[in-house]
Chains A and B, each alone.
Chain A
Amino acid sequence: MKRLILKRLLQLGIILLSVSVAVFLLVNLAPGDPAYIKLSAQGETPTNERVEEERIAMGLDQPLHIQYFSWLGQVIQGDFGSSYRTDQPVINTLLKSFPYTLVLALAAFIVMLLISVPLGVLTAVKKNSLADYFIRVLSFFSASLPEFWLALILLYLFALQLKWLPVMGKGELKSMIIPAFSLGVVLSGKYIRQIRTALLEELDADYALGARTRGLTEKTVMYAHIMRNASISILTMLAMSFGALLGGTAVIENMFMWPGMGRMIVEAITWRDIPVIQGFALFMAGVYCLINLMVDLSYGLLDPRIKIRKESGQ
């Protein structure tokens, strides 16, 4: 297990390193001179001399690789530079808005779990029944729904017509219901089908038949055997979706003025605040990779076949 962790950490390191190169090179895509952009973001009307001064101050006159390494050195220490606009450290901006995105993603994730797990199991257990057919059609619909459209429909129904929920909020729980629900419902469409497939694959496995020939009830076979086998891959699949969800809330956040990462980044983009954009990309990639790493490792803990083999160093 230790060796596995080390190996994965090394892989993660390599990926994050190439991510950092990509993010660093992003700046070179920017039309215009970063020094010029910075000065105008701070409200100056940049003259040629000021731009030249700023270029030197920012180290833009250095060769590219030197710029990269000094930038990387800072990033490793948690210093993502400072915002062009506010001069605040980027990391503070990121850490301020990240919890909001995290909470929203978590809520959406829970909605998704609450919908897709029971329905996915139901469709598998009652394979080819009317309920199965009905839920599958519904899941197909919800998987094709644009979540921002669903959000507007829910907003119209529950906030404007029924007045059960606030139209807009500033980060309190009630105003999160519609965004979380929209994200969760759309995502659940996909996972109902995947859970069903995962369970169906196990339904006719030899061990399930074996359990039945031992006289176990169909319920025990389903829950103590089939679910237990399928749950490992299903859990992994669902947990991986959480990481992706973190990067998928931006549109909803902006529609609902939710003060998360997606809102923050759009604001940064309007000011062409390059360090913030860079920090955002790097930060999200780091979080995403870390989540996937943890899921990967816990997969090993859940599945005795992997866990024991790893422990005995096979």
Chain B
Amino acid sequence: MSEKRKNVQEIIFYGLLAATILIAIMVALANQIAPHDPLAVDYSMILQKPSAAYPFGTDNMGRCVLSRVIYGLRSSVAMALLITLISFTMGTFLGMVSGYYGRVVDTLIMRITDTLLAFPGLVICIAIVGIMGAGWKNVVIALAISGWVEYARVSRGMVLSLREKEFIKAARSSGCGRVRIMIVHILPNIFQQLLVIATFNIGHLILTFAGLAILGLGEQPPAPELGLMLSESKQFLQLAPWLMVYPGLVMFLVVMLFSLLGDCLRDRMNQKTSQ
């Protein structure tokens, strides 16, 4: 690859990283940045077009759409990160155990992943949340239950191939304990690839979270949530299309940001390994 193209890629990567950090700061400082209280109802300001005071307009209860989008993004991102953290830890742990110990443990864990993979799309989440009841806590549990499988499968596969590598054998023969080998020798080798998966998944989780809210299974009104806002905007589509435009646009951009970031990370990783 030419130097010039490599430099362009570097610039894009750091640009994306900067954008991610910017969003992180924005949602962390939601209280300071949001111009209004996202829940403050003002019936004198119903369905106002975007203006200087309300950059994204107001909804049917006179609430500031921009403020609601910022808070909504905060809960989406926080939720996605929380779920990723849980599934990442759980999946990687179970996958490594499965791959390293093999036998009964492996069979058991792999049967469980087979079972979870037998449900298409959202079905497993809908069923779990449906029975446990709506609300963000149950959504987190449901998404974590269905989310760890991918990490487990990937890390298991990598452990299986790493296990036969010389440096692991050497570590084992020099008396390294199993736990130590896994944490010190194996984990650093598979971490990057899992991180790429996690980055891709964040966008996907944000969409799923919004989808469940639209189904009435996630956050409940009047909470500022992007999916809920979209769902509510439908009634006012003719009168106030901005209610639909902004939450969707923000979600779209954030999802795209994470999938671009995932692409970049993967390319960088591939370059490193091929060098």
- A–B contact with Cβ pairs below 8 Å: the answer is yes
Residues of A within 8 A of B (CB): 14-16, 18-19, 21-23, 26-27, 29-31, 140-141, 143-146, 148-149, 152-153, 155-156, 160, 243-248, 250-251, 254-255, 262, 265-266, 268-270, 272, 274, 277-278, 280-281, 284-285, 288-289
Cβ contact within 8 Å between A16 and B215: no
Cβ contact within 8 Å between B259 and A146: no
With beta carbons under 8 angstroms apart, the residue of A15, A244, A270 that contacts B114 is A15
Most chain-B CB neighbours within 10 Å: which of A27, A254, A284? A284
B115 within 8 A of A: yes
Cβ contact within 8 Å between A160 and B215: no
In the complex, the chain B residue whose C-beta lies closest to that of A266 is B215
Q: Could you say which residues of chain B place their CB within 8 Å of the CB of A23?
A: 127
Q: Could you say which residues of chain B place their CB within 8 Å of the CB of A15?
A: 114-115, 118
B77 within 8 A of A: no
B251 within 8 A of A: yes
Q: Could you say which residues of chain A place their CB within 8 Å of the CB of B119?
A: 19, 247, 281, 284-285, 288
- Per the bound structure, the CA–CA distance linking A270 and B216 in Å amounts to 9
- Per the bound structure, the CA–CA distance linking A255 and B233 in Å amounts to 11
30 residue pairs of the A-B complex, CB under 8 angstroms, read A18-B111, A18-B114, A19-B115, A19-B118, A22-B116, A26-B127, A141-B256, A144-B256, A148-B211, A148-B214, A148-B227, A149-B244, A152-B234, A152-B244, A153-B244, A153-B248, A243-B120, A246-B120, A248-B120, A248-B122, A255-B231, A265-B130, A269-B134, A269-B217, A284-B119, A284-B120, A284-B123, A285-B120, A285-B123, A288-B120
Q: Could you say which residues of chain B place their CB within 8 Å of the CB of A160?
A: 237-238
In the complex, the chain B residue whose C-beta lies closest to that of A27 is B131
**Per DSSP, are chain A's interface residues mostly helix, strand or loop, or mixed?**
helix
Cβ contact within 8 Å between A277 and B127: yes
Interface residues of B in 175-220 (CB under 8 A from A): 203, 207, 210-211, 214-217
B90 within 8 A of A: no
In the complex, the chain B residue whose C-beta lies closest to that of A159 is B237
Q: Could you say which residues of chain A place their CB within 8 Å of the CB of B203?
A: 144
Cβ contact within 8 Å between B127 and A280: yes
With A143-B259, A255-B214 in contact, is A152–B130 under 8 Å at CB? no
Q: Could you say which residues of chain A place their CB within 8 Å of the CB of B112?
A: 18
Q: Could you say which residues of chain A place their CB within 8 Å of the CB of B114?
A: 15, 18
Cβ contact within 8 Å between A152 and B233: yes
With beta carbons under 8 angstroms apart, the residue of A146, A269, A280, A288 that contacts B252 is A146
B23 within 8 A of A: no
Q: Could you say which residues of chain A place their CB within 8 Å of the CB of B131?
A: 26-27, 29-30, 272, 274, 277
With beta carbons under 8 angstroms apart, the residue of A18, A29, A156 that contacts B132 is A29
In the complex, the chain A residue whose C-beta lies closest to that of B216 is A266
Number of residues on chain B facing chain A (CB within 8 A): 47
Most chain-B CB neighbours within 10 Å: which of A21, A26, A146? A146
B81 within 8 A of A: no
In the complex, the chain A residue whose C-beta lies closest to that of B207 is A146
Cβ contact within 8 Å between A280 and B123: yes
Q: Could you say which residues of chain A place their CB within 8 Å of the CB of B124?
A: 281
**Closest CB-CB distance, A81 to chain B, in whole Å?**
14
In the complex, the chain B residue whose C-beta lies closest to that of A32 is B133
**Closest CB-CB distance, A16 to chain B, in whole Å?**
7
Q: Could you say which residues of chain A place their CB within 8 Å of the CB of B244?
A: 149, 152-153, 156
Most chain-B CB neighbours within 10 Å: which of A149, A246, A274? A149
B65 within 8 A of A: no
With beta carbons under 8 angstroms apart, the residue of A22, A247, A272, A280 that contacts B121 is A247
Q: Could you say which residues of chain A place their CB within 8 Å of the CB of B123?
A: 247, 280-281, 284-285, 288
**Closest CB-CB distance, B57 to chain A, in whole Å?**
15
With beta carbons under 8 angstroms apart, the residue of A31, A262, A285 that contacts B118 is A285
B255 within 8 A of A: yes
Q: Could you say which residues of chain A place their CB within 8 Å of the CB of B62?
A: none
**Closest CB-CB distance, B227 to chain A, in whole Å?**
7
Cβ contact within 8 Å between A146 and B121: no
